[in-house]
Amino acid sequence: MAPQPLPFDPIARAEALWVQRWGANSRHTTMAAATAIMRVQQVLLARFDAIAGGHDLTFARYEALVLLAFSREGQLSMGRIGERLMVHPTSATNIVQRLAASGFVERVPNPRDGRGTLARITESGRAAMEAVTAELEAMDFGLAALSSDSVAGLSTLLREVRLAANDFIEDPS
């Protein structure tokens, strides 16, 4: 069940209150943009979790399955999963444990680290991941309200923010 829309724009309200409290300056616009990004993330995550939930997944577990499917051997260490998903190693382990309990991954010893474990995607994990992916694509990942040019522009802008935050090293080529 989708939540009821608010009778007002909470970002516009926050911006107006910001200006009332601290005055009009460029920071009120930056605050509104950053807050809007976070709110959109929450809206999208709720939609993605609802879709993933229909396949005994959360969006975080779906992301882990995609990560494993994209890896060369269909398996990764807990540390690598945590690093790529930007979660604490304990959270990565919890995600993998839940995926294993559902039969979507299997935990196997890491041959390069006698104490470590690898998560390996199973065929049922691949099937669940493909089903969620098809539904996410069908809803255009929640961005159907935007034109193709707007989506491309948004991606470019957000890439700039990620690059400035040292999220990745830009490929010089």
Query: What per-residue confidence (pLDDT) applies to 43?
Result: 95
Interior angle at CA 43, CA 39 and CA 49, nearest 5: 135
Query: What per-residue confidence (pLDDT) applies to 66?
Result: 98
Tokens read off for 59: 């969006």
The pLDDT of residue 113 is above 90: no
| Virtual torsion, Cα 108, 74, 127, 130, nearest 10 deg | 140
Find the DSSP H helices in 71-143.
78-85, 89-101, 123-138
The pLDDT of residue 26 is above 80: no
Look-up of token digits 């994990």:
125
Q: What is the share, in percent, of the chain residues with pLDDT greater than 90? A: 88
* Residue 79 and residue 43 in contact, taking contact as beta carbons nearer than 8 Å: no
Name the band, by pLDDT with cuts 50, 70 and 90, for residue 1.
low
Query: 31-84, pLDDT tens digit by residue?
Result: 999 999 999 999 999 999 999 999 999 999 999 999 999 999 999 999 999 999
Q: What span, in angstroms and rounded, lies between the C-alpha atoms of 33 and 30? A: 5
Query: 124-155, pLDDT tens digit by residue?
Result: 999 999 999 999 999 999 999 999 999 999 99
Tokens read off for 136: 């996410």
Query: What per-residue confidence (pLDDT) applies to 171?
Result: 86
Q: What is the share, in percent, of the chain residues with pLDDT greater than 70? A: 99
Which residues make beta-bridge pairs with 109? 117
**Residue 148: C-alpha distances to residues 38, 45, 102, 153 (Å):** 22, 21, 37, 9
Q: What span, in angstroms and rounded, lies between the C-alpha atoms of 51 and 69? A: 19
* Residue 75 and residue 108 in contact, taking contact as beta carbons nearer than 8 Å: yes
Burial of 56 (0-12, 13-18, 19+ CB in 10 A): middle
108: closest CA among 75, 83, 80, 85?
A: 75
pTM: 0.89
